[in-house]
Amino acid sequence: MKNKNGEIGKAKSRLTALEKVTGSAKYAAEYNVPDLLYGYIVNSSVTKGKITALDETAVRGIPGVVDVLSHNNRPSLPWFDVMYSDMDAPPGSPFKPFYDNEIKYDRQPIALVVADSFETARYAAAQLKVTYETEDFDVDLRKNLDDARDPSKGLATLIKPLPPSPKGDFAKAYGEAAATYDGDFRHGTEHHNPMEMHATTTVYEGEGKLTIYDKTQGTNNSQIYVSNVFGLSYSDVRVLAPYVGGSFGSGLRPQYQLFVCVMAALHLKRNVRVSLDRKQMYTFGHRPQTVMKARFGADAAGKVTAMHHKAVAETSRFEDYNEVVVNWGNILYPAQNTLLEYQLVPLDTYTPIDMRAPGGSTGMHAVETAMDALAYDLKIDPLEFRLRNYAERDVSEDKPFSSKELRECYRQGAEKFGWAERKPEPRSMKRGNRLVGYGMSSGIWDVIALPARAEAIFTKAGKFIVKSAVNDSGQGSYTVMTQIAAEQFGISTEEMTFEYGDSEHPLSPIQGGSYTTGVVGSAVKAACKVLKEELFKKAKRLKNSPFADSEEDAIYFRDGKIYAADDDTVFVNLTDIFQNEKEDKISVTKSNVPNPLKLKQYTRAAHSAAFVEVEVDEQLGTVNVTRAVTAVAAGNIINPKTARSQILGGMVWGISKALREETLTDFKTGRYVNPNLAEYHLPVHADIHDLDVIFVEEKDEIINELGAKGVGEIGLVSMAPAIANAIFHATGRRMTEFPIHFEDLVL
């Protein structure tokens, strides 16, 4: 069917824009439902051990306190792990809040104080007297590297594969290489810190029926979790999340504020809200501290021949969180002798959780530093060196790429940035008293395919509605889904209604991994296609229908009509279909299930190239990213305006990762010592300068129905290594630890 109106590819302002700028967008903690109770969570003050006593007397005496819930008096809970599982649960045994008196990690939630006001709940929570029996613990990754072991396999390792087997003879090739690089890398723990703190408002509708406003990346995920844990029917639990104030992975799993809020609402048969405070935002998942080794070797012609990349990351004692850290290098650069290793060290922390560009942003630091170092060693321009090692085919899996326009990213990015102006020698460029450096890096992120469902509706009043449970925490999914749906019917985005963020709508996977546009968008497209077929069938059956004998390829949809492809004067008004209908709407629901046999034949990835200029003041140890260009090949860009913002956001995250953010651990107490936005450093406006984004044209007919690869992570992966490489160019010093501290740079 032919479309005359192209909504896909238009730079549209996000559809929630007016609500967001006027303050009328409501987030999870902003539903001021009647007779609302406020819960405040008490967290453990020890890292490991047992609660021996929990004295509630003082708390219960405070006027306004309604109840105190803990392992002592919690309602009955299921015992089996599987009931606590969720769409993103790694292999292991999920954490069960308030289950027993055992403390597994610092600031574990142990009690909930419920009161008639927020202030009373907070005050009362501080009065709870808890005594503990402490046990020895360990949260120091580097001290426990000897305990590293392979990760357990499970559902998570299907989406996030473990490293491929060794190939060729790494030791021999590395020994014979004309140039080698051997580096040890580390980055600290990081926390997502979305601006909106996690919160849940539970409306008790009576008879075990709940409406829940939750901060989540998956309304279905929260719904299934709550239903399973509390023994409620799925149809009695409705989870809504129309606005989510950022998440970056923190909302991939149902977090404990949801659990305790629902528990209190069911127990008290009241409406309850539980919001975490900022300190509590550091108590349920993080990017795991990771140490890496990279040993790369190249021949005299500048071809990488040997590649060893090993990563050891922390996980909790109860779940094996894994991410793809070491697989990327050999997809990008076709070395024939590789040794890729990934291991975990269980520690007394909470289980890590995916955080924007999980694994990729960690691994690429080592890969791209090693590549840069080899280029300098061989006196080859770093960009030229990457071109000499350009993979036309993924040798790590021996597969073709479904599409790959990285070469064009290099070319357009370098040109826009002015890479040719770079002087090859380190420390050769200056501006006033500051050293200037140019650095670049490649980037890669995989294209994940998953099943999803969507419903498409046409009403008697002539309205198009498409529904999916999918979230939008700022990525722009609501807007791009509306564009995709509108395009199918040849109407404008403004004429299409897309309903989302509601667990009652057709099932969507949790939103993450840059796959939402491709995965949910394909389901939207599939549902619209079925609705079009249905509408056409009915149009054919109309009395005197001009299309009685027409085939689908002889018509197209536009502006609420079906037109003959070869004659604009021949059409049927879609609303006329209802002359023959009993119902006042026509509705279809369709699943889109990717074909794994077809997809498996290809390596599917988005690519990027980042070019960065830094200024380094060696007297003060400060680094300023003065300008940067990121060129991205991510297939079809549905909305260049919101996609550009995604890449800009990723670039800011790259600046943050390289130069700012880190959660510091006191190994003696097992405690994060900077759990607040003053001491957990994020870039501020004054840190951000000239950032530019290029989308290069890329066609992909393999990955999904839309040819869209997603842009959530790809802007981040190349940015941080490019900054480190630019600092090398400026100073002659390799930056192998993130974030880079000023003491790493002072003379």
Residues contributing to the site for other proteins (CB under 8 A) = 13-14, 16-27, 29-30, 32, 63-64, 117-119, 123, 193-197, 243-248, 275, 277-278, 473-476, 641-642, 644-646, 648-653, 676-678, 682-688, 691
Name which of 90 and 650 has its Cβ closer to other proteins: 650
Query: Least distance from C-beta 524 to other proteins, angstroms?
Result: 21
Query: Least distance from C-beta 117 to other proteins, angstroms?
Result: 8
Question: Phi first, then psi: what are they for 229, rounded to 5°?
Answer: -70, -40
Query: Least distance from C-beta 288 to other proteins, angstroms?
Result: 20
Query: Least distance from C-beta 64 to other proteins, angstroms?
Result: 7
Name which of 18 and 145 has its Cβ closer to other proteins: 18
Burial 306-332 (b: 16+ CB within 10 A, else e): bbbbbbbbbbbbbbbbbbbbbbbbbbb
Please state, in angstroms and rounded to a whole number, the distance separating the CA atoms of residues 625 and 613. Answer: 6
CB 555 within 8 A of CB 563: yes
CB 401 within 8 A of CB 393: yes
- What string of H, E and C letters represents the secondary structure of 230-263? HCCCHHHEEEECCCCCCCCCCCCCCCHHHHHHHH
Supply 404's token pair: 């790959």
Strand partners, 573: 561
Query: Least distance from C-beta 640 to other proteins, angstroms?
Result: 10
Name which of 109 and 249 has its Cβ closer to other proteins: 249
Name which of 62 and 178 has its Cβ closer to other proteins: 62
Sorted by sequence, the CB contacts under 8 Å of residue 441 that are 6+ apart come out as 364, 368, 372, 609, 610, 718, 719, 720, 721, 722, 725
Please state, in angstroms and rounded to a whole number, the distance separating the CA atoms of residues 632 and 208. Answer: 49
Please state, in angstroms and rounded to a whole number, the distance separating the CA atoms of residues 536 and 547. Answer: 8
Longest dimension (CA), the chain: 86
Name which of 307 and 355 has its Cβ closer to other proteins: 355
H helix intervals, 354-469: 360-377, 382-388, 406-417
Query: Least distance from C-beta 642 to other proteins, angstroms?
Result: 7
Query: Least distance from C-beta 261 to other proteins, angstroms?
Result: 16
Estimate the share of the chain in helix, then strand, then coil, as percent rounded to the nearest 5: 30, 30, 40
Name which of 117 and 601 has its Cβ closer to other proteins: 117
Name which of 474 and 739 has its Cβ closer to other proteins: 474
Name which of 27 and 333 has its Cβ closer to other proteins: 27
Please state, in angstroms and rounded to a whole number, the distance separating the CA atoms of residues 316 and 329. Answer: 27
Query: Least distance from C-beta 429 to other proteins, angstroms?
Result: 22
Query: Least distance from C-beta 126 to other proteins, angstroms?
Result: 12
Name which of 31 and 318 has its Cβ closer to other proteins: 31
